[in-house]
Amino acid sequence: MIAQIPPKPPWLEDEKEICKLLLWFWQKIDKLPGRRLSPTRKLSSDYFKQSEAGDRSWYLLNSLCPDVLDIRPSTSHNHFQPEWSGSRVSLPLSNHSIIQCWFGLEINENLVNWQSAVTDCIGRLSVKELSELGARVNCQFMEKNPLRYSGKDTGEVVLAVFRLIQQNLQSNTSGLLSLREMSARYFWGDSKFLDSKMEWLKSVFFDFQYITRKVEVSFYLPRQFKRVLFIENLDTYHQLITSQLPLVEETVLVYAAGFKLSASRIRNHDSAMLFQSVDSVGPVNIFKDWWFNAEETTFSVYFWGDFDFSGIGIFKALRHCFPDIKLWEPGYNAMLRQVNAGFGHSLTKGKKKGQIDPGETGCHYADEIILPELRLQMLAYDQEGIDFNHLV
């Protein structure tokens, strides 16, 4: 096969525009090995310099016909334009290997195998399935963007993808799976494989159907309550439940991991689940009605998280769901005292590095007291470090 490839022209490396054109053909074919039409380029008047050097380049380009290229001169060419203007140059698909050899390029074997396997799977579909596939799946994107799974060959991954596609095409609302369920069911029991593939999935499926994982919120209800306090960290939440601290009497304590606390879905009955502490003794229905249905019974709402930009960022996000929420001053005052006493840790180093200033929150205490101190001192303090006896 190599013996049939024509020798590389000795002048090629000096002809930059011809090299660019040949490499452009290569990239077009290499990105989509299964393509059926030869890539074609229409040359503009200024593709080559309008000079003796340009005429020479056009002559040399024509010397590659018909062994390498096909060139069709323009039928509307006029005498005021260079001879190449409007000409259509194409590289027959069978000559792809010539460009590979001349420029020492490597074939993307993984992409070739992927597209071959995709074509095989599509060929096994029924007419009805093909119609549904075309309506709901971006096959062109899928063909150009292979998935990889360590330890599995390309064909096995494509089969897994098509099982996922068929499940998604057939599912109605009651039969939907979560992303983790899909991942484990179709990718060798690996529930986390698709976690980092959401952009790929949303590009492949015009309307990717899956069950969004619900936000889990834990809460403690005293016998009577008139306020709600959100806690950022689990240890502090547990300690406050058992502390019998006078400051949190008649207070509902609420915990969810930081990123869950800031979720916009936290008050949506279909996307959030509330879990009551076994130590709770209060009337749960009153609290749930207020949480999900915004009943007229209103409570004062507060947030206590870490003394850092991330904590204030969670607080700011919570204000979208709880517009009247405020920072809990006893907790933040205690952490500010610790920072002023020299016990804070840097916001510019370690795990705190890179936190983003949330800007104005709409809460006077946060905007006028806490955030200015954070920006001035660039020191943080985590709420777990606070002795409840120092809360006032």
For residue range 145-157, list pLDDT tens digits in order: 889 899 999 999 9
Q: Which residue's structure tokens are 């000096």?
A: 14
Mean pLDDT of the chain: 87
Whether residue 82 sits in one domain with residue 134: no
How far apart are the C-alpha atoms of 371 and 373, rounded to whole Å? 5
Whether residue 276 sits in one domain with residue 173: no
Residue 124 lies in a domain: yes
How many domains, the chain? Answer: 3
Residue 26 lies in a domain: yes
Is the pLDDT at 159 greater than 80? The verdict is yes
Residue 21 lies in a domain: yes
DSSP code of residue 274? E
The 10 Å Cβ neighbour count of residue 248 is 23
Structural domain that includes position 379: 215-390
Task: Bin 391: left if φ > 0, else alpha if -120 < ψ < 50, else beta.
Answer: beta
For the segment 223-229, the average pLDDT, to the nearest whole number, is: 92
Whether residue 379 sits in one domain with residue 318: yes
**Domain end point (choices 48, 69, 103):** 103
Task: Write down the pLDDT at residue 253.
Answer: 95
Summarised one tens digit per residue, pLDDT across range 69-119 is 999 988 876 778 888 899 999 998 878 878 888 888 776 677 778 888 998
Using a 10 angstrom Cβ sphere, with 0-12 exposed, 13-18 middle and 19 or more buried, the burial of residue 36 is: exposed
Q: Averaging pLDDT over each range in 92-106, 119-133, 287-301, 320-334, which range is the top one?
A: 320-334
Whether residue 75 sits in one domain with residue 12: yes
**Predicted structure pTM score:** 0.62
How far apart are the C-alpha atoms of 225 and 133, rounded to whole Å? 55
Contact between 332 and 307 (Cβ < 8 Å): yes
Residue 209 lies in a domain: no
For the segment 199-206, the average pLDDT, to the nearest whole number, is: 89
For the segment 57-66, the average pLDDT, to the nearest whole number, is: 92
Rounded to 5 degrees, φ, ψ at 268 are -95, 125
Pairing label, strands 70-72, 326-327:
unpaired
Whether residue 197 sits in one domain with residue 165: yes
For the segment 323-335, the average pLDDT, to the nearest whole number, is: 95
3-state class of 101 per DSSP?
Answer: helix
Summarised one tens digit per residue, pLDDT across range 265-274 is 888 888 888 8
**More confident: 295 or 20:** 20
Task: Write down the pLDDT at residue 2.
Answer: 37
3-state class of 229 per DSSP?
Answer: strand
Whether residue 269 sits in one domain with residue 368: yes
H/E stretch holding 326 = strand 326-327
Residue 357 lies in a domain: yes
Whether residue 126 sits in one domain with residue 40: no
The CATH code of the domain that includes 294 is 3.40.1360.10
Contact between 245 and 221 (Cβ < 8 Å): no
How far apart are the C-alpha atoms of 219 and 19, rounded to whole Å? 68
Residue 2 tokens read as 């190599």
Task: Write down the pLDDT at residue 3.
Answer: 35
**Domain end point (choices 204, 231, 248):** 204
Whether residue 293 sits in one domain with residue 165: no
Whether residue 262 sits in one domain with residue 326: yes
The 10 Å Cβ neighbour count of residue 298 is 11
- Provide the strand spans (E) within 24-167: 40-42, 70-72, 88-90
Q: Which residues pair with 211 in a beta bridge?
A: 178
Residue 210 lies in a domain: no
The rounded percent of the chain whose pLDDT value lies above 70 is 93
Is the pLDDT at 335 greater than 90? The verdict is yes
Task: Write down the pLDDT at residue 296.
Answer: 61
Whether residue 334 sits in one domain with residue 257: yes
Torsion sign, CA atoms 27, 28, 32, 33: negative
Q: Vertex 264, ends 263 and 269: CA angle to 5°?
A: 100
DSSP code of residue 228? E
Peptide bond into 330 cis (omega under 30): no
Q: Which residues pair with 142 in a beta bridge?
A: none
Contact between 73 and 122 (Cβ < 8 Å): no
Residue 25 lies in a domain: yes
Contact between 97 and 6 (Cβ < 8 Å): no
**Domain end point (choices 82, 103, 124):** 103
How far apart are the C-alpha atoms of 94 and 102, rounded to whole Å? 15
Whether residue 359 sits in one domain with residue 228: yes
How far apart are the C-alpha atoms of 137 and 115, rounded to whole Å? 15
Whether residue 376 sits in one domain with residue 274: yes
Residue 347 lies in a domain: yes
